[in-house]
Structure 1
Amino acid sequence: MQEKMNVRVKKILLAICRENDYVTLSTIAQELGVSARTILRELDEVESWLAARGCSLSKKTGAGIKVSANAVQREEMLALLREEQEEIIYSPQERQMFIISELLQNQEPVKLYNFAAILKVTEGTISNDLDKIEKWFAGHQITLVRKPGLGVYIEGRESNIRKAMIRFIYENMDEEQLLRMIRNYIKNSSSDPKDGIENRSRKRLLNLIDKEVIRRLETSIQAAEQKMGYKLTDNAYVGLIVHLALAIQRIKKNEEITIDKEFLNELKRLPEYTVAGDMAAVIATQFALPIPEDEIGYITMHLKGSRNRSDTFQSAGQPLGNFELVKLAREMIKVAEQTTGYSLAANENLLIGLVNHLGPSISRLKMNLDIRNPLLDKIKAFYPDLLEVSRTCAAVVEKQLGVTMPESEIAYIAMHLGAAIENCAKIAKRIYRCAIACATGIGTSRLLATRMEKEFDNIKIVDIISTIYIEEKWLGEQKVDFIVSTVGIENCSLPVVTVNPLLFEEDKIKIIQQMKMTKKQIPVSPVRKENPMALKDKLNALSSYSEAITRILDNFFLREDRDSRTMEEVIDKISRTLGEEANQARLAQAIMRREEKGGTFITGHGMVLLHCRSEAVKTIHFGAVKILNSIRVINGKGQPEDVKLAVIMLAPEHCGKIEMETLSHLSRMLIERPEFSGLLTTGNYEEDFREISHIMEELYKTKNRQLMGD
């Protein structure tokens, strides 16, 4: 008798047996219309099937999975798979997911035999599933009620049921999937009979959101964006759509949410409350529903929590500003030192990282908004000790501010601490000296330097240089072991490692191989110490930094591009905007020549960094162009990705080193501070200018401290 196979396992096997190379889990998930987490759950069965046929499954971090088999074996397996009989078998997780989605929506009891019939299992199996589900509901302060002869249903406060609905959606879909599903749902609300139970469960919850409701809500949100002067991020858009749509359906059923009156009065003092009130008035008219004041408070919280910045938030009449955040971060670091035994107080990167992170996080916690961390499961699995240290540090915040830190936020703190602890735990090892190079010496080289500093604690970056101006004699005097470059370099006596600016896994391997070769060839030599700078030189340097910062602020620009369909069109418009009439064509050619040497798309960020050095410009420029009709390009991993933002960095051909360093610092912040690039994408000119001013002020203070001392 021919063996029956889980239909999803069969589809996964077909997907990987057809390919000779690695396939990412997200690619397979998108093809099957499920989450990457679901694919991960099926891999044990996939491996068992392959092992029974003398093959294995190869897994590679960052690359995905592939079948370890020759061409003949692949063809044989593909033939077998085409003959396999399919049977829809639901895993315990899928059954429980379906039951949760039904119970969240049904106000009436559901009979166990109804679930058993749909899921093709016994009532005893459903009863076991309910035991597991009961814990999930309890974690959301909801009671699962089982009454013999009547059925099963849930009881709990309306606010907890709504939170559970939203948490359920986010547990089973990432935001990109959810955004895509909502968009598709607008276009076509019909269900596909071929949908698996996972998609059916998701769509059952999304059925609460009528497509006409979404259309009307989008109109309200767009009006709110205009009043606030900035666009919501995809993250905030999804959160607000889901909240409002669920709210409308629950209000129709007379299920109203409540909010603490003192906190509501606090929210009323925020400018977002006025916008939320206007939104509520429009929604009330559109849907002929009374929108309670408490609901307006919740809308305010979503609008307030949508910003990509650490705005201060009033609590009991006192703003939590940078001074308090620094003090809080220092206390957390002190606790981490006592717990781990590592000296962390002098780690400026850790302090800055925690301060930048805590601001928006505390705001969200105080407004009772979710904090989601996609790396939580990995951190729990691989770094449990670090998570416990972070939990101890989080207690400082909890005690002082009276908030409860969720595990997702504790995991974020663990990520900051982990990098600092790893840096402290360095063992004595050979330090390699390298120079970072790109075609211009600005932009991508600074991104690469940031990535290398995080990945390699045994590499000292001596300088960031342009491939056009390589002074090999000077590099030799500095005892540089090798150059790491974003573009190829010809006729160079030093070893050159060519990598992607974002430093993918294969790039790290190249650098490690070069270090091994260097270790064999070049002995470690002490580098002579430079003579200390004279006071006059220090003052001149500070003056140069001041002038460079002033030029960047004077020349900052923010544009919207509604028409361009290609990057060439974007570049042409930028050149016409910034270049003098006689030099516009030269500037466009210079930017295009830089692009031809290697695309500067920042994979995973929806952003391209257009930069060059050219005599077509007389001074340094930094700016951004929002591409409203996103342009699809091939990213650094060879996959299609949309460009939503072009960041422009221009410098004269013969530009001073300090000017170059100052301009490059902004490109570094694009990666180190995701909220900066997010603000360039969604913010207005005034917000962006304030953020850049803040970054430049930090840089100036750092240089002043380095040159003049504390």
Structure 2
Amino acid sequence: MNFTPRQVQILFLLIKSSRTISKEELSENLQISKRTLFRELKGLDKELEKYSLYLDTQSKKGLILSGEKENKEEFLSCLEKLQSFEPRNRKERQKKLLGMLIQNQDVQKTFYYAQQLGVSEATINHDLEDLQPWFDKSGIHLVKRTGYGVAMEYEEADFRRLIMTYIQEYPEEKIQDSTLEETLKVSLADLSEKLMEQFTVESVKGLLVFLEIAVDRIKNGHHLKECAGGQCEDEIFRIAGEIAERLETSFSITCSLAERQALHIFLKSAKRQLSSSDEYVEVRGENISLREIVYHLTDVFGPELSFELKTDEVFIDGLMTHLRPAVTRMLHGIPVQNTLLKEVQTIYPDVYERSGEAAKILGECLNCEVSEEETGYLAMHFGGAIVRLREKNRKKRRVDIGVMCASGIGISNLIASRLLQYFGNRIHTKILTIRELPKLSKREIDFIVSSFDVKSDKVPVIQVEPFMKKHDFELIDRYVESLAVREKVAESKESRGTVIHTILQITKEVDSILADFRFFRADKGCSFDAIISQIGEILGRTESDQLEIAKDLREREALSTQVIPEYEIVFLHCRTDAVADSKMIILLPEGNRFEDPYFFGAQAMVVMLINKKDERETLAISAISNAVFSEDDFLEDIKSGEEKRVQQQIEKVLDNFLQKNVNEIYEQ
């Protein structure tokens, strides 16, 4: 499949459209002239024939990609595997340009890069200016001369540092064609298991990119000079030699001693996943004990804590495993990315400050600079060990987390339920709204988890993706761990009268939910307005209440949709004066799904109404919404219309909620 990046963009637009697209529209979308568009369209038919597809040019209308649905799906799958990007995306374009500059070390005119990336020469010149600081930090000068072209001037060590930096910052970026990549994987197939045993997945991915660049460079006649430091006959050098031999056989190239030494340095600087029995590391020809270095570093934490750290073998082993490749990186000026640096500085401010002192000691031992990123990794090891040591001596408390989501209570409850599944009884969650933020204090909430940018000068905020990823949980886990060993801000105890009033409120809400809960049927083709009118008629006592419910549901939906396509459900909820206490009903279509496109084929609608004046922090109806997403089969029973089983689930949730809250009130 031989397409230029711009042709890939054209084909994406055509294959994803079910209508004819005019040439004017294509030109405007891609920000190119019609003349350029016609040039890009030439020769496409021949490639498309391989997939039984063709470009249908309709007079005065434009273009449409024609062919069988199955053939289009196969072709789309192939297109998605290609390295395509949007030329107007400056960040992506500059990343591609950077990779091309590293790959093409010979002089190239800006016109070449402009053609490859589908932009003007002026844009390439602006991009080169933006990239100059990136080259500067590796000690490489980017030369640009009119009529000459673009080239890099560098020392060998600086170029190796540039490659390392590129791999660190863009580990997923592919520089070469897929054929070279596949040949490389086949060449190293029986070595992969051995590499994976020693190195992290990210390190192995980085190695593949490093080798792709090296193979292409050698094939184009660019060979490294001998690396500084000479030859080191260790296990890693043996692996480097074995990899070099595979490359020589597979690509018919010669890997000199310098190439093997460069590969040796890369492997020694790569992150490991297993510890080594060797406690020594070579520094400028001298073997230095890693254990002694670790002992020196712990001294910055004072005699008492330092003693505990020195007797913690889990910590000692972990930090030595980290330092072994880190020392190589520091000695050779190889950069490292630390995506968690800001979080480390926020979560462990005191530990980070002490780790800065430890970094100075390490720099003196190695006679080199220790970067902020490497300091951050030291802080992560020290911080984790200190929290673990504190756990032995202090009882943990439950951490209170507030949950907010721009999409409303449905996604908020989904996030809360996933947090509870992950952390269990280590945390307590509370669904929050924007209007509650000004009144919040650390006595109520330790920190907020939000799916959108929230500003709060009283409580820390962690922003996550609505459908939380692994890194979101890991970040929150560090917050929870650090807060669980701190004392909660003291709160005044409630009076006996307040306790009784609180219990009565909970009981009243529970009774209200159980009294009115039912399944109802709705026309499968009804619109959103028809649905909220029906809900108003079901739950409103008077005509004015019915109108009020419909109005409040409409206003809530206007803020952000409550349709959750991923779960085939609509989670309609709002606060309203039209109900005295919380209410819940479920609407099912008279058929398999709601057919109005607005509902994305939802199979059920969960409706929850809360009284506007109910200011309690924890509501019984919130416990039900949490359970909908966290309890096994609850959501499926709702969508399947299993009313009796759903009723039993709700009764169970409310019973547990009532008992739990009564116990907590009397324990205060």
| TM-score range normalised by the length of the shorter chain | 0.3 to 0.5
Larger Rg, first or second structure (1 or 2): 2
Could you tell me the TM-score, scaled by structure 2's length? Answer: 0.41
